[in-house]
Structure formats: C-alpha cells, structure tokens
Structure 1
Amino acid sequence: MLRLAVIVLLLANAGYYAWSQGLLRQLGYAPQEQSEPQRMNQQIRPETLQILKVNPSKTSSAAPPGSTSTPTSPSQATAANDSPAPPTTPAASAPADSAECLQAGVFDDRQAEALRTAAAGLPAGSWMLEPTPIPGRWMVYMGRFDDIETLDRKRAELRARKVDHDRAGGTLELGLSLGRFASKEAAERELTNLGTKGVRTARVIQERAEAPGFTLRLPAVNDALRAQLDVLRTAMAGKTLRACG
C-alpha cells in the first residue's frame, strides 16, 4: 500500500512539472501565458532608446565634497571610547581660615577704658567699643534697719506672708529687696500687689541710674586674631566673648 502511494506521488509530481513547463501544450494542457500587450502599445518610439556607459572617474569627481566619510574601524572606535575625559576644573576650596563675629559686654566707663588699653596692641580695625547705654534699675525696698535682729525679724514676717525677698546689697544694707525692675512703673505695680499681702513699710527706690555703657565687638575673628585675645581677659571683668547677635 505504501509503495502504491509513493508511485502515485511521483507520477503527480512528474505530471505537474510537465504541465508547468509547457511540455503538454500540444495535448491542450499548459498554463495560461501572462502577457500585457497594452504596455507595448503605450511605449513611445521604443526603437530610439539607447543604453549609455557611465564613466566611473567622472562619477567619483562629481560627488560633493565632504559627502564621503572614512569608515571607522572597531579598534579606532574602542580607542575613542577608552580615551580619558578632559580634566575638570576643581571647585574652589573653601577658605581654611573662616572668621566669626564676637562680642562681650556691657561695660561701664571704667571697664571700657581698661579695654581700650588692653586692645591697643590688636590689629587696627579688628575691634570696637559700641555705645550701649546701661538702663536704670528700680527696686521695691524695705529698710534700712537698725540692726541684724530687726532685719531677721522682718525676714520672718515676709516668709510668713510668702513674700519673696533677698538682701539689697551695697549701700542699701541693712535692707531687703522685694524685687528689682527695669522701670519705675513696673516697681510701683509690684508695690501695690505687695500691699494686698499686708506689706506696709516697703517703698520704691532707684537702685541704679541710667549710665553710659559700651559693648566690645570684634567683627571678624579668625585664627590669627583669636590667638591674640588673651590680652583682653583681665580687662573684661569676668565677662566672656559670645557670638554677635
């Protein structure tokens, strides 16, 4: 059965080949010819057509300049990719010696004069004393008492009334301070408040009058100047330098 199928397949292939090649045309078996006679009729004087030869030298010379490019070999492309990038300009480094503004104060007239003497050896323009008036101060004061016994007795009374107090100090001894204030008005308000607590013998006094003062200012302290600031230590009367504010 398989042999018969193979024989039939071979005969079919042979028949198709004979038909497609026109071998069976005499028997009336042949593929239809594909022809387009109308295209021949549309041609205008086909006998005048000529085939010309092109001169290769003229063709190459007629090419526009720059139109040809030299091919790049793989090795050249690799070398171009591996070439180091142009060096970049390093960013400007920050100044190693940064300066800061420092100040101290407030100093009274006597302290300011001592500072002027101590700072005389510092570079010109590196320091200044800015006028900064010292405001007056007011106190709710009780005293002056005749002796320590009277002072202690008054302290006991104030503690019993839960009134805060401390020593007045300086030329106001023997006396007690019931509060210090930046203005007379604030001190008088506190005195009125203390009256509601039974305090009767206190009064408002000016502890310190307004006075001229000065602030020491060093606008640009760098490492070199900072090393010279020890000369100011004694004249600063215990005050310390701090950042300008």
Structure 2
Amino acid sequence: MALVLVLANALLLAAQLGVFEPLTAASNAPPQREPERLQRQVHPEWVQILSADAASAALRAAAASASQAAQPGACLEAGPFADTEAEAAQRTLRDAGITAAAWQAIRTEDGGAYMIYMGRYPDRELLQRKQAQLKRLKLPTEELRDNAALQPGLSLGRFNSKPAADAALARMVQRGLRTARVVTLRPAQGQTVLRLPAADATLRARLAGLKMPSGPGFGDCAAEASAAAASQPGASAAAPAAASAAASGAAPAVVPAPVAASATAAVAASAASAADIRPPAARSATASR
C-alpha cells in the first residue's frame, strides 16, 4: 500500500514539472509553465490592480452602460404646434443636428371647439329661471364659470366640430328650445406634432435641452402614455369618468373678440321671459290663434 502511494506522488510531481508534456502536447506548442508564460505577456504594464471599491464601481458602470445600450428606442413627441409654430419647431431640430430620418412631422386638422350657448343674462335670477325651464324640457345645462365674456350664461353642451354642434342645436329646437346659439370657443386650425419613434438614450438627452416654440418640449408619445396610464391600478374605473369629462368640457374656453362682442350685444334679446323656451305644443297653440 505504501508503495502505491509513493508511486502516485511521484507521478503527480512529474506531471507538475512537465515531464509528460512532450507526450501529451503537440511538438510545436509552447510550454505552458512559468516563467515561459510570463515572458509571453503582451503589454503587462496595462494591467492594473484595483481596490475592491474601485472594482465594484467599474462593474456597476459597465453594467449600466450595457443596460442602456440594450434598451430599445423610446417614442417621443412634442406639440401640437399651430401652423405658425410648426416651421420654427422643425428648424429647432435641424439646428440641433438631428437628422431628418430620425423624426416625423405629423399634421392633423383640429376641428376646433364649439358650445351651444344661452345668455348673457342681466342677473342670476333670470339665469336660474331659464335653467329651471330647461330642466323641465330635460335638456342638460351648465352654468358658465370659466368665461367672463359669456357670463352669466348657460352651456347646453360642448363639441369638437361645428357640424356636430349645429346638429345638436337642431334637435334641441325640436324639443322647444329658443334663443340658444352655437358660439366658437376655438376656431378650426391645422396642428403639427413632431415625433421621434425610436429615440435612444443619447438622442433623448439632446432633446431634453431643446427649447421648442411652445409647450413643455418632448415627452412620451400619446399612445404610450395612454397605455402606461391604462396599466395602473384602477385605471379601468377611472377611464370612463375621464372620457366623459373630456367630452363635456375639455375644450379651452377661449372666445374670439367677435364672439364676445356678439354675446354682449345679445343681452337685451336674451333677457326675455319664460316665453323664450316653449314646448312644441305651446308653439302650435300660439300659431293657431
């Protein structure tokens, strides 16, 4: 037994000393033992020994760089810009050295914002009386509180296009409504959105420093922002309420000067009594006299 152990140790020592390398390696293969291997090092002066903290920081930086490079491009957009601002916004991108292939100019037509309106009334008492009459006709009303040029007055609905507002007013007239009219809150106009469908980290950093003609600058594309909001807890319950709010009052209450002037001129005509709102039956009876 002792003889076997001695032979095993002798074989192990011979292997470590390279006695068997000529038998196991190719004849032209360089020896893989010290100090020959050390002599074959290429630029050993480039090797640096780092402390534990420095090594950890280097690993974190490398991991962050790799993660950033692996991230797909994000969709960013700015706007919408009015026709008078669109060219200036595009020039801002060109001056920043962002190639035309990286972004898109998407133009849409904004139909404007319109409202079915009654007023102005000389006092709140008459306004409340009209509101009660409209309630009996089962017509929805909203007292205006965000537009001094049309107050005191009533809104019977807001719409994103004039044809839709005109059609709604025609239906209300058939139910007995009088003296209401469609006013323009925001005229129809063209709008342009600048979109970068695949902005990498470097491009996102450059966009963050740009000052656009209006608005906050570049942010997540509308579709991606909506998807992110929908993924939040409770989003499904909040969505109908948000949509209803947008449909009823999303349009900004900006009234052009001609509308404000006509609203002021209509005070006398609109300050009529309850006869301004009559059911169809009452109108027929009046006509037959």
TM-score calculated relative to the size of structure 1: 0.47
The higher radius of gyration belongs to 1
TM-score calculated relative to the size of structure 2: 0.41
Structure showing the higher helix proportion among its residues: 2
